[in-house]
Chains A and B, each alone.
Chain A
């Protein structure tokens, strides 16, 4: 339990119906002040449920939830603070803009509910919030006449206007088209940094998660499977599931042959490989993981050291402007390599593939 944690979720569990699978099980996370924290996972993994448990829109069956010094939920002590009494704001996936109120009225609503400030001050705050999301000129617009992106902005303004300790965002970008989604993602990033807001964000999009987050909690089947900063999760995943969920990857069966202080040697069907920093014992079967963009493609004549280098033949190439995706055959195996288009090979070319020892990882076999 870190001292700096603003939100702490301890061993929380939720089951929707008696006898059904748990939606969330033994969930423990800490969110620090000012942090952009993301719950990431495939649909049905329990990430939205976790968010709703924090919001108080659902009640956990077990565990404890604390925001700063306030206990929001404690199963053992029977504490359960109602949603509207928690100092938490939320943006919903469907935006949930109230259609009978204007844009300004939507944003004023939280301030009126809290009963804070005088009328003039509320309006000033609401206008400031609308200004922040770029909707200053829309305040009198009926909210039924807004586009998806504008509704999204109103929802954001409504969440930031009350200056809650914590802002929850439930897949806020998933209903937008691609171009708008990229734009809103960038704006969200800037907004959070400017406000210094503490955010818990739910998404199933790993790119979104990595670009926005300080830390990511990866979930699967109601359980936390990995937790860390985006770089660690992408480069040093703890499981085959985590490796595949965060990006395109190869997984090959490998047997650990020797373990030394600096690394180890593993045996694969296309040859032996050096791998840095392995925590495994010799003789066991594992999975070798390498991402396509880490595989280096060189001409056959390359004079690079021969460790982790294998001769291969290009079976196919897919050109997409900035990058080229090759499929190469090494013996009976296929390996993908993603390179920039600065140097290109053709189908049928024989090349050398180099698998850097620092980018090769070994993962446990069990959940392949």
Chain B
């Protein structure tokens, strides 16, 4: 007994590590591997005979590629820069100043997360479209100048909307670092004769650099892989980025056969990006951690007085909510109440009708899509919460083998576009038909499980690294076996964080378009693909009505998530 205890523990760790490697290998590595193989097959099917380099040369010697890449980079850099600037300003105002009604703003700041990016895109085409965009119409009427003032169907339009869509996530990543810089750090500077501006420039900003860099990196990667806003705004205006290009290769190839091989070849780009980014991110993370570790706790910091600046500050926050929530929601609501798409105008009040909403509840396809959406979200959220907990527990708390690889694999899907993951899963389940998930909701669940694992494991890692290992050691010294420690100590301490991860994934799985749109068949239509279908087939009023109900569900999930993560002190994306 005495001699065998460490041995069984060791065997248990090997078994746990092996199992995790297997699961992550299946979820993450296998799809990527098959994409790579497909790149070298004549018709792009991984298990057909023959080898060709034609797809690789086609994809990389394509004269349009440099423009495609530079467009994608411009979009991602622009959107992430806007998101980080908005997020940083919000974090500073809400966490550090004496801005009026801070509590209200802080509670409301996550509301934009309930607005799916796809709907934000749709709403902004309604607000800033060249012909019926209400802001454009208003500006024309006020100034008397004809023609659209601002055209949403442009690269800057896409950057603007994507920046708005990412801003709440940027705020959530930056709020804690901005709020937590030990007040002692600034007090020490004040006692070294440094005024407020010098304190902000010389102390706060440098201390925040790692957090800002990490946030910018995550936002940049999100901008590189995102599909919905480029699809809604970019595709109609012929502004193509990598994700919409991949979608195009699969769905609208000029000579009608999907160009799977080229999609495989393009995956090299993302795999290369992934390796570089993950390494960079981990380095940044380690640096941020080191800063945090020695930051004195000190006294609660007294807020920075805004004085006369409070008026522009309040105006800024109101404008932020107007642009991310109020105006888009109003535009969608208006459109959903119209019998046909028309501009927003008091003259049309007589036309308003709830028939689109009634149709939604009477539509069998809509009902089944809602049920599918809820099923997918529920299953994906549960899978991610459990897997992320196990990964975090193994990586942080065991001495088992392969911890670094497991950690990396769990973070890898961050840099894989949802459309590409969808493509890969099609390959996997068309080739391995022993698991008949192709065309069912299960294949979407698998895609989401991989896509949202990076968020889940990072959030869990954050909480796990804050809990002192002595809590578990004390349990072990009280005679509890590892399984009991997991069940009685770790799990209860993690339940709030796990709950927060669960709700976050639930909300994102409900709103995401990229993987479902690649994987959709007749029997696995979800709300986002249904909405996408109506929008693309020229029925924006029905799409808007579905959108309103999606927002209602998401608002509830978002509020739940916020409450759970407050309790758990979970790290956010």
Chain A residues close to B by CB (< 8 Å): 52, 55-58, 82-85, 88-90, 92-101, 109-110, 113-114, 144, 155, 158-159, 162, 168
Contact = CB atoms under 8 A, between A and B. Distances in A.
Contacts of A98: 185, 188-189, 203, 206-207
Interface in B180-208: 182, 184-185, 187-195, 198-199, 202-203, 206-207
Interface stretch (B105-113, B273-281, B293-301, B340-348): B293-301
A255 to B, nearest CB: 48
A96 B290 contact: no
A158 B296 CA distance: 16
B356 to A, nearest CB: 53
Given A113-B192, A144-B290, A144-B294, A96 B185 contact: yes
Contacts of B184: 92-94, 96
B296 A95 contact: yes
Nearest to B207: A100
A56 to B, nearest CB: 8
Interface in B295-323: 295-299, 302
A113 B200 CA distance: 13
A106 to B, nearest CB: 9
A98 B207 CA distance: 8
A55 B190 CA distance: 9
Contacts, number: 93
A144 B291 CA distance: 8
Nearest to A142: B290
B291 A99 contact: yes
Contacts of B207: 98-100
Given A96-B188, A113-B194, 15 more contacts: A52-B299, A57-B190, A94-B296, A96-B184, A96-B296, A99-B291, A100-B206, A100-B291, A109-B194, A110-B194, A113-B195, A113-B198, A144-B291, A158-B192, A162-B193
Contacts of A58: 302
Contact of B192 (A52, A93, A109, A144): A109
A94 B198 contact: no
Q: Which of B185, B188, B291, B295 has the most CB of A within 10 A?
A: B188
Contacts of B198: 113
Please tell me the size bucket of the interface on B. 20 to 34
B291 to A, nearest CB: 5
A92 B192 contact: no
Contacts of A114: 193
Given A100-B206, A109-B202, A113-B198, A90 B295 contact: no
B294 A97 contact: yes
Nearest to B202: A109
29 contacts: A52-B299, A55-B187, A55-B191, A56-B190, A57-B190, A83-B190, A84-B190, A84-B194, A90-B188, A93-B184, A93-B298, A94-B298, A95-B296, A96-B182, A98-B185, A98-B203, A98-B206, A99-B290, A99-B294, A100-B206, A100-B291, A109-B194, A110-B194, A113-B194, A113-B195, A144-B294, A158-B192, A159-B191, A162-B193
B192 A162 contact: yes
Nearest to B210: A100
Nearest to A89: B191
B185 A90 contact: no
Nearest to A83: B190
Contact of A92 (B193, B202, B203, B298): B298
Nearest to B208: A100
Contacts of A84: 189-195, 199
A110 B294 contact: no
A55, A88, A89, A99 pick with most chain B CB within 10 angstroms: A99
Contacts of B296: 92-96
A33 B185 CA distance: 29
Nearest to B205: A100
Given A92-B296, A95-B296, A96-B298, A110 B190 contact: no
B297 A94 contact: yes
A172 B566 CA distance: 34
A58 to B, nearest CB: 8
A114 B194 CA distance: 7
Contacts of B290: 99, 144
Contacts of B302: 57-58
B190 to A, nearest CB: 4
